[in-house]
Amino acid sequence: DGGITQSPKYLFRKEGQNVTLSCEQNLNHDAMYWYRQDPGQGLRLIYYSQIVNDFQKGDIAEGYSVSREKKESFPLTVTSAQKNPTAFYLCAINAGEGTDTQYFGPGTRLTVL
């Protein structure tokens, strides 16, 4: 992590409400990613952005939206269209010398009641 922050750590919402998860980085890296993790499963890619004002759908983008207006920020909105939003959400950047390595923020655990 180091320069990747996610807030809040725990988030509770009622069913049918949209909610936005924050991801900020001060490492000046271009590529940012959003994953969700469910118990007993690997991380699944929701959206990623390689550069400001551009982003791509991952494997499970339905029910989610993102924006990348600034290099430092890549917020994720979980919409009411997401059928099963309760999960652990992780933001990541690509960094490293010689090869890309993913480093993660501390995560946000979202519970929809």
The residues of the shown chain that bind other proteins, judged by CB under 8 A, are 1, 33, 35, 40-45, 48, 58, 90, 99-107, 109
CB of 13 to other proteins, least distance (A): 19
Q: Are strands 10-13 and 108-112 parallel, antiparallel or unpaired?
A: parallel
User: Closer CB to other proteins, residue 22 or residue 80?
Assistant: 22
CB of 1 to other proteins, least distance (A): 7
Q: Is the dihedral of CA 30, 61, 45, 19 positive or negative?
A: positive
Q: Are strands 76-78 and 64-66 parallel, antiparallel or unpaired?
A: antiparallel
CB of 106 to other proteins, least distance (A): 5
